[in-house]
Amino acid sequence: MFEALLLTKAEDGTTQAAVTSIDEAQLPGGEVLIDVAYSTVNYKDALAITGKSPVVRKFPMVPGIDLAGTVLESSDARFRPGDAVVLNGWGVGETHWGGLARKARVKADWLVPIPRGLDARQAMAIGTAGYTAMLCVMALQNHGVTAATGPVLVTGANGGVGTIAIALLAKLGFEVHASTGRPQEAAHLQRLGAKEIIDRATLSEPGKPLQKERWAAAVDSVGSHTLANVCASLKYGGTVAACGLAQGMDFPASVAPFILRGITLAGIDSVHAPQTRRLAAWQLLAMELPRDLLDANTETIGLGAVAGLAPRLLAGQVRGRVLVDLARAP
């Protein structure tokens, strides 16, 4: 028996979350059994736990879209007991029991070896948010964006994706501008590497279809009017990597920036990204992400505190990354 955060649906349709003892035999199928050391609380996890969005496709469900730990058992030759592994996405925490439990059984194809230079704690301090941020940076670079091209905007700057995107881009020599609704966190964003702080209100309302050219590129985790205004404000040939919908999943934009300035909107999917891209992202994270900034950007909690934190995360009251230590008392 081991502890897990279990989601159930009540008769009135609401989602109930409780720390529960689970028998290993209850775990879903998969080739690899993992001793989970750490998981995290991402935006999608908070939606699942609160029931604010139909993230969970079947109940009961152990949430947690990512995990890091050690292989206990494996029927797949690629993994052996004792191997350190990380998992992001693949429907874990949505259709397959996820990482907010002391053990998980998953498909071998979903796993990535933790690269040299990172341990399980650091891998989850990065987590899906940091891995997504790296995919965004890779997309910008693949579209020719360099430090010499011009400043890069990061929206949702105080969130998990935003904070790590700032740290990565700054480490790579980019001039980073950070959009946030929490000006009191400006000093933290500047420590991560942001050179300019922008009030998110200047981007979150309906704007003109074509605006003053300000940024060479952007990483956007917000969507809706914010993404539309970012596109309208990109320099000629600019690229925005879009990976989130914190403001909304609508895109009230015009074709003007695309056909008059030749900009690119690059969609970032972290859930089903191919293995080669995942491996590349994790290798780059191990090499490029400053460890001191990672530690300063991370809060650690136990499993019992997860359900209470989820509403705060959705309300934009959580800074950076939240690490869940499964060894802590629930």
- Six token digits for residue 275: 């293995």
Query: Maximum distance among all alpha carbons in the chain?
Result: 61
pLDDT at 295 (0 to 100): 87
Question: For the residues of 249-317, what is the DSSP string, one character each?
Answer: S-----SHHHHHS--EEEE---SS--HHHHHHHHHHHHHHS-HHHHHHTEEEE-GGGHHHHHHHHHTT-
Q: What is the location of CATH 3.90.180.10 in the chain?
A: 2-114+297-325
Distance CA 274, CA 89 (A): 11
Q: Which CATH class is domain 2-114+297-325?
A: alpha beta
Total Cβ atoms within 10 A of residue 291: 11
* Cβ(230)–Cβ(243) below 8 Å: no
Phi, psi (deg, nearest 5) at residue 191: -65, -35
Q: pLDDT averaged over consecutive 10-residue blocks of the chain (330 residues)?
A: 95 93 95 98 94 92 97 98 97 97 98 96 95 98 96 95 96 97 93 96 96 98 98 98 95 97 97 95 94 88 96 90 87
Sorted by sequence, the CB contacts under 8 Å of residue 171 that are 6+ apart come out as 193, 288, 289, 290
* Residue in this structure with the two tokens 């990380």, named with its chain if needed: 86
The whole-number pLDDT of residue 3 equals: 95
Helix 43-50 vs helix 306-314: angle between axes, to the nearest 10 degrees?
110
**pLDDT value for 150:** 96
Q: Are 314 and 52 in contact (CB under 8 A)?
A: yes
Q: In the CATH hierarchy, which fold is given to the domain comprising 129-267? A: Rossmann fold (3.40.50)
The boundaries of every CATH 3.40.50.720 domain in the chain are 129-267
